[in-house]
Structure 1
Amino acid sequence: MRQWWQDPFRMFQTNLREIDAGLDVEAVLDYLEEFGANAWLLSVGGILSNYPTDLDFQTRNPYLSERPSGDLVGDAVEAAARRGIRVLGRMDFSKIDHRRAEAHPDWCFAGPTGERQVYNGLTSVCPSGEYYQARLFDVLDEVLDRYPLDGFFCNWMSFNEVDYSRVYHGVCHCVGCRQRYDGPLPAEPDADWRAFTNGVLDDLTGRIRTHLAGRAPLVLGDRADIVFHEANNAVGRRLWHHRTSESVSAAKTYRPQVPVLTNSVGFVDMPYRLASEDPQHFAQYLLQAIARGANPSTYIMGTPTTTPYACLEIAATLTRFHRDHADVYRDLVPAAETLLVRGESRAEFEGLYLALLQRHVPFDVLPVDRLPDVDLRRYQVVVLPDLGPVDLGEYDGKVVATGATQLLPIASYETEATTRGLHLEGGVPVIGAFHVVEAEGELRAYSRAPYGPPEKCHGHELLPHPGTVRQGNKVFFPWTVGRAYREAGLTVHRDLFVDQVGNATPTDLPEQVEVVVGRSAAGYVVHLLNRSGDTDQRFAPPLPIGPGRLRVPDGVQEVHALNAGERLPVDDGWVHVPEIGLFEVLVCA
């Protein structure tokens, strides 16, 4: 039976302070309806219970006394039901108060020297301990026995190695971790520790899903009923303009039929919760989410009255667009024919990501550890960015690999000092790493020579070392062409790579238009995203682009441009796209 969350929905989260327990439920619901949301993520329990809990290890919010009923959750659920709005419970089991921490030290995070992690009077707990492993289920049962909630989100379900101030506290050494871990616990995180923590969290996620089965969905990681992604900004973090799109694509490529929820943060960073995110920046969260098939969600501190962020106007516009075209977003899944695999090398991955985007090659993203879980036969091309050895199973389509992927080098230049001054034929600079391989190929390397002073800049000799190697339907770049493009921005790097990939969408639209393709209940769906506003550490208002032409799949008889509200005639496989503002959506039938 189809569940409610398998249809498109739009959420609004009020992340409540304890002093917000007396909020006007009807006023918030009025706002949500006007906003276009049909689901409300409400702070329910964990650190504070916004209902009269009877569990002795939970804390009732003292400000519930401001409500005649003494029960915010009960009031919200009852009022929302009358309007047909879903209510999901935000739970936070990551911390307990001092009294419970003293009574249950085995529940608490313990650093390598045994110290607890205390922040604003609250003590962090560990997923290996009994609070997560057993008491969590008691809280969920108490809530569901009282209220017909439509789902649960568990905030900050992690091993708490880093606190709100971004202070690193080390690997947990609590009694639960010591008992569960095979061998002595490391002082610093390593591959075994990460595998251990992922295993504990995956097991806990599975047990919560099983416990809630038939009662309510779980919103959490990529193994939950609804995959959760938080789109946010952070002071001091380099902006990757495509973070939301990348994250949603990774989830939808792995499990296309599983809903993804992109909860977009309305404030600029956790220490600045009163400061609104820039509207143009916030718009990208929602726009990138819906283009890749996720459900949009807006997240604020307090209520719309207490924190009327400047970004909420454009958030409401995009949320209502999703509402008004729910038929287009129903069952929207990826339809790209190129797969970009994501590994540890961020610079290589991001450079190839940008190259594909700018040359209008629609692509999906997949984490390398999910390769065994996906049928790669749905892709014509698989791109492997500097991944080392990779097992593609029985995939026999085209492969384009870069860096140290697959080929066995006889020598490697991997530092700035050893690659400085290294060129390929045609004056192509090598940036990052170059691997010498015994294979026939093209784009041969020149030996390094002095690069200064100019009087001594000579002596480059052409070497037999290839910059590209072809083996059947596989093309190898034994150097980091993606990193080179990310760091230098030379189109020669971009075009060398993309020319080998192919699969570009024929169009005369400029490179500032991103092409995202999918299939839904409405047909073949093309999102055209205007990237002209992407600039250093921010998103500026995009400049209008077009009109222009774009090729649509064979057999398409009619195209509807949703933003323009126009039916576009198909002329020998081409459509004339109207001027694009922030974005356009083409539905091909």
Structure 2
Amino acid sequence: MMRLWWQDPFRMFQTNLREIDAGLDVESVLDYLEEFGADTWLLSVGGILSNYPTDLEFQTRNPYLAERPSGDLVGDAVKAAARRGIRVMGRMDFSKIDHRRAEAHPDWCFVGPSGARQVYNGLTSVCPSGDYYQVKLFEVLDEVLDRYPLDGFFCNWMSFNEVDYSRVYHGVCHCVACQERYDGALPDDRDAPGYADWLRFSKDVLADLTGRIRDHLAARRPEAPLVLGDQADIVFHEANNAVGRRLWHHRTSESVSAAKTFRPTVPVLTNSVGFVDMPYRMASEDPHHFAQYLVQAIARGANPSTYIMGTPATTPYTCLEVAGQLTRFHRDHVDVYRELVPAAQTLLVRPVHSRAEFEGLYLSLLQRHVPFDVLPEERLGEADLSRYRTVVLPDVGPVDLGAYAGRVVATGTSSVLPIRQLARYETEAEVRSLHLEGGVPVFGTFDVFEAPPDAEVAVRALSRAPYGPPEKCHGHVPLDHPGMVKQGNVVLFPWTIGRAYREVGLSVHRDLFADQVGGAVETDLPEQVEIVVGRSAAGYVVHLLNRSGDADQRFAPPVRIGPARLRVPDGVREVRALVAQERLPVDDGWVQVPEIELFDVLVCV
């Protein structure tokens, strides 16, 4: 079978064009991309505006194409890029249509529960259930493919638009197509009964549409992949910031890991946003923040991409310097990133709910140098768990691990042992003053149960006692309620130990949990260095990410760390440190890691 281009590492640069950018200097942009280290250009092609002379009645030609002698930006870009060996992918956006088409085709449009359309800056949102997506989208793809040998397609904002650009919530679509497709009465909003069923319906509609687009492209131009959700040829993740959103410093790494763990050989594209937030598209992201997008992406095996508004000449963001440095690093070490797949022996399941529990366990493993992969809970039945020594279940409730026979470390409500629950403490008042032996405080929820008779019980609970005034602070009596139970290869913490660490930050919680997981890399590196392991065509690959710059709602400049010792896997004869550009002697299974600034990569053979 022919190897397709996107199955090898690549580096993308996206120019998200405004209509006034249609006259851009193609050669100048390509000069910039080559210097930047990119080999793929994501160019705005069609949908809301067509940057080529479309003949389809329901499409709108960009009026600024008149500034080009050819009248065709896409044609000019494809020809010029081909001369340089740069691929061009088409960005399509079918989420909105202009007023004239909305009036002519009301059946294409989003209709809110009140009957109102969703109009933003003169454009009307359309619904994926309607014929604009279901039929007309394919006519646009055919017109583009008939004219240009594009190297792939990305469909922006292909979703049921409950929320607009201003984060205004409009509810569930009630258009004619949705009413015909949906079995039953449509809910009005996320608080209505039946909303969970509608979510499944909407995901099914989008999954079906994604599959049809993918099949259509494969039939027309097999070498042109679809970049979209986790069922597309290339999985898309947008690394971005947002005003008012709590910063989770590990969002990019988590998202890439979730995709690569589910389907290790399917490429992931991390499109890193160069601006701060959609309302502030002319404001550059902080360079230290932006660097984390790309470093976390490549460490987990994703292809790096940088996304700007306009062109490099019109929006020279300050973060582009470090973006170019990291993109060129990926280019210069393509042999290391070819076929890079996860190699951790610990799996951390990402629950549908219990986000704080997940994040606390995530931080615990990272800081204790336990390499791990992330898998969404909903993918448990589809992934191969057999390669993992340990599976961690963060408060997931009832769960089926199939034939998995390895070690399980579960927390909270995760049902993995045959126990009889006696009570559950789940409010702040119910757990306040609750301790375990050794002075371990309990936060979140705590389940009281009867352990199996052959189970090993540890860190039992102490009865609650007054906590004020000091004269009355006594009376914590030992109880039979276990804070940890071991039976066979299963360890259960019947309380939210991860949430406790996330919200309070006591190392006693982190260490109590991580000691039961095991599998830490032996090193004297501090907890601020994240260790990510993988295997590629080049060998065993260890990314060392300096997280000392993780700060409140930002990334500060990291503090240099090291040198330090690190044990490598048995049988490793040679280690290269790619950033330091050094060969590291292996001495009785140990190497001396050079000083780490932002990151380093060890290749072990």
**TM-score between the two structures when normalised by the length of structure 1:** 0.99
Q: Which residue of 2 aligns with 1:129?
A: 130
Query: Which of 284, 302, 320 is 2:310 aligned to?
Result: 302
Question: Letter of the aligned partner of 1:502 in structure 2?
Answer: G
> CA contact under 8 A between 2:159 and 2:206: conserved in structure 1?
yes
CA distance in structure 1 between the partners assigned to 2:379 and 2:349 by the alignment: 9
* 1:81-480 mapped onto 2 (5 Å cutoff): 81-189=82-190, 190-213=195-218, 214-343=222-351, 344-406=353-415, 407=417, 409-439=421-451, 441-480=457-496
Identity of aligned residues (%): 82
Q: CA deviation at 1:269?
A: 0.2
CA distance in structure 1 between the partners assigned to 2:563 and 2:223 by the alignment: 50
CA distance in structure 2 between the partners assigned to 1:451 and 1:173 by the alignment: 54
Question: Letter of the aligned partner of 2:361 in structure 1?
Answer: L
Q: CA deviation at 1:188?
A: 2.1
CA distance in structure 2 between the partners assigned to 1:341 and 1:479 by the alignment: 17
What do the CA deviations read for 1:477-515 (whole angstroms, capped 9, x no partner)? Answer: 000000000011000000000000000000011100000
Query: Which of 551, 554, 562 is 2:567 aligned to?
Result: 551
* 1:508-527 mapped onto 2 (5 Å cutoff): 508-527=524-543
CA distance in structure 2 between the partners assigned to 1:20 and 1:97 by the alignment: 19
Q: CA deviation at 1:149?
A: 0.2
What do the CA deviations read for 1:506-554 (whole angstroms, capped 9, x no partner)? Answer: 0011100000000000000000000000010000000100001111111
CA distance in structure 2 between the partners assigned to 1:416 and 1:177 by the alignment: 42
Q: CA deviation at 1:215?
A: 4.8
Gaps of 5+ in 2: none
> CA contact under 8 A between 2:5 and 2:223: conserved in structure 1?
no
CA distance in structure 2 between the partners assigned to 1:172 and 1:538 by the alignment: 36
Query: Which of 561, 567, 570 is 2:583 aligned to?
Result: 567
Question: Letter of the aligned partner of 2:120 in structure 1?
Answer: Y
CA distance in structure 1 between the partners assigned to 2:224 and 2:4 by the alignment: 10
Query: Which of 545, 569, 574 is 1:529 aligned to?
Result: 545
Question: Letter of the aligned partner of 1:212 in structure 2?
Answer: L
Secondary structure, aligned partner of 1:257: coil
Question: Letter of the aligned partner of 2:446 in structure 1?
Answer: F
CA distance in structure 1 between the partners assigned to 2:384 and 2:26 by the alignment: 47
Secondary structure, aligned partner of 2:185: coil
> CA contact under 8 A between 2:4 and 2:223: conserved in structure 1?
no
Q: CA deviation at 1:470?
A: 0.7
Secondary structure, aligned partner of 2:212: helix
Q: CA deviation at 1:108?
A: 0.4
What do the CA deviations read for 1:347-385 (whole angstroms, capped 9, x no partner)? Answer: 000000000000000000000010111110010000000
CA distance in structure 2 between the partners assigned to 1:455 and 1:185 by the alignment: 59
Query: Which of 482, 492, 505 is 2:521 aligned to?
Result: 505
CA distance in structure 1 between the partners assigned to 2:449 and 2:292 by the alignment: 42
Q: CA deviation at 1:404?
A: 0.4
**TM-score between the two structures when normalised by the length of structure 2:** 0.97
Q: Which residue of 1 aligns with 2:7?
A: 6
CA distance in structure 1 between the partners assigned to 2:565 and 2:273 by the alignment: 36
Secondary structure, aligned partner of 1:410: strand
Structure 1 residue 33 and structure 2 residue 25: aligned? Answer: no
Structure 1 vs Structure 2 CA RMSD: 0.7
Work out the number of aligned pairs and report it. Answer: 589
* Farther off after superposition, 92-101 or 431-440: 431-440
> CA contact under 8 A between 2:544 and 2:599: conserved in structure 1?
yes
Q: CA deviation at 1:450?
A: 1.2
Question: Letter of the aligned partner of 1:230 in structure 2?
Answer: E
* 1:12-91 mapped onto 2 (5 Å cutoff): 12-91=13-92
Structure 1 residue 493 and structure 2 residue 509: aligned? Answer: yes
Question: Letter of the aligned partner of 1:393 in structure 2?
Answer: G
What do the CA deviations read for 1:66-118 (whole angstroms, capped 9, x no partner)? Answer: 00000000000000000000000000000000000001001000111111000
Question: Letter of the aligned partner of 1:141 in structure 2?
Answer: D
Question: Letter of the aligned partner of 1:346 in structure 2?
Answer: R
Secondary structure, aligned partner of 2:380: helix
CA distance in structure 1 between the partners assigned to 2:223 and 2:284 by the alignment: 36
CA distance in structure 2 between the partners assigned to 1:3 and 1:363 by the alignment: 30
CA distance in structure 2 between the partners assigned to 1:188 and 1:478 by the alignment: 34
Question: Letter of the aligned partner of 2:306 in structure 1?
Answer: T
CA distance in structure 1 between the partners assigned to 2:357 and 2:223 by the alignment: 44
Secondary structure, aligned partner of 2:450: coil
Gaps of 5+ in 1: none
Question: Letter of the aligned partner of 2:346 in structure 1?
Answer: T
Question: Letter of the aligned partner of 1:548 in structure 2?
Answer: A
What do the CA deviations read for 1:383-433 (whole angstroms, capped 9, x no partner)? Answer: 000000010000010000000001552210111111111111111010100
CA distance in structure 1 between the partners assigned to 2:574 and 2:258 by the alignment: 30
Secondary structure, aligned partner of 1:514: strand
CA distance in structure 1 between the partners assigned to 2:449 and 2:75 by the alignment: 67
